Chain A
Amino acid sequence: MPIILRLDRMMADRKMSLNELSERVGVANVNLSKLKNGHVSAIRFSTLEAICDVLDCQPGDILEYRRDDP
């Protein structure tokens, strides 16, 4: 998948644990872990909005596009 989530980097910058983020965003710990490890195929704007709100960042700070090698 060329879209990579840099959630762990942003969480480290904000010194926030996965449990705290899951509580504040309102997403289950397991699902947030899947999101962090790139095991989801899509993310809702509402979820992205909640994460950006809690981490005080832009979507571009946690989403990265990497072109697949041909």
Chain B
Amino acid sequence: MNQEKMIKTAKVLDTVFRIARKVALIALIVLVVAMMAITVVHLINPDATIGTGFASLEVGSVTFEMMPETTPTNRQILVLTWIISLFAVGCGLILYDILRQAGKILDPMKEGNPFHPSVSSNIRHIGILILILDFVQQITDFVLSAYANHLISKFLPSDASVLIESNFQLSLTGVLVFFILLLVSYVFQYGAQLQQLSDETL
């Protein structure tokens, strides 16, 4: 009965992961193509406005109206957009691989045997990817806040001061998840050994 539930759940999750993988891949392709198109447009016509423009800047509850001469240039906006896009593509690729590995874990489960030797290595792989994803997100936060700081200090009046935290802080969540998944992978590794022993017993 429990095995039937596991097989059913594994099949449903496999379908969900497959759809999520396709959506992630399409989103990544669309993002890269859009960025290429924006860059080409900028190269052809450097004066074309990218997006809605940065006429105002919101920092918390305070909105700064920018003077026309202090508005960021198209090139600066393009650089910021490229930085965000590159990090988004990096995170998207890692997420895609996590979904792919999760799909691989479900393969033996769909056949009713979760203790396959490949499952433990796939779980460990996911743990490492989550650690990398967390690290990339930390770097993204740091770089974007540093760039935002740079832009704000450049475009605000000289007597105004706004501080955005741009210190790099290592989050322990990713490390914790990694170690938990590492332990789970050892459990599955031991389970696979017991399963092999059981299969070889007549």
Question: Taking beta carbons and an 8 Å cutoff, which residues of A are in contact with B?
Answer: 27, 31-32, 34-35, 39-44, 47
A2 to B197, CA, bound (A): 18
Q: Determine the distance from Cα of A27 to Cα of B200 in the docked complex, in whole angstroms.
A: 13
Report A-chain residues with C-beta under 8 Å of the C-beta of B201. Answer: 40-44
Task: State which residues 152-202 of B face A: CB under 8 Å.
Answer: 197, 200-202
Interface centre among B200, B201, B202 (most CB of A within 10 A): B202
Chain A residue with the shortest CB-CB distance to B201: A42
Give the docked Cα–Cα distance between A36 and B201 (Å). 13
Q: Which residues of A contact B202 (CB under 8 A)?
A: 27, 31-32, 34-35, 40, 42-44, 47
Provide the residues of chain B in CB contact with A41, threshold 8 Å.
197, 200-201
CB-CB < 8 A to B200: which residues of A?
A: 39-42
Given contacts A44-B201, A47-B202, 16 further A-B pairs with CB under 8 A are A27-B202, A31-B202, A32-B202, A34-B202, A35-B202, A39-B200, A40-B200, A40-B201, A40-B202, A41-B197, A41-B201, A42-B197, A42-B201, A42-B202, A43-B201, A43-B202
CA–CA, A65 and B105, complex, Å? 41
A37 nearest CB across to chain B (Å): 12
User: How far apart are B122's CB and chain A's nearest CB, in angstroms?
Assistant: 25
A35 to B201, CA, bound (A): 9
Nearest Cβ on chain A to B53's Cβ, whole angstroms: 72
Which residue from chain B places its CB closest to the CB of A47 in the assembled complex?
A: B202
CB distance from A69 to the nearest CB of B (A): 24
Inside 8 A of B197's CB, which chain A residues have their CB? 41-42
Q: Which of A39, A41, A47 has the most chain B CB atoms closer than 10 A to its own CB?
A: A41
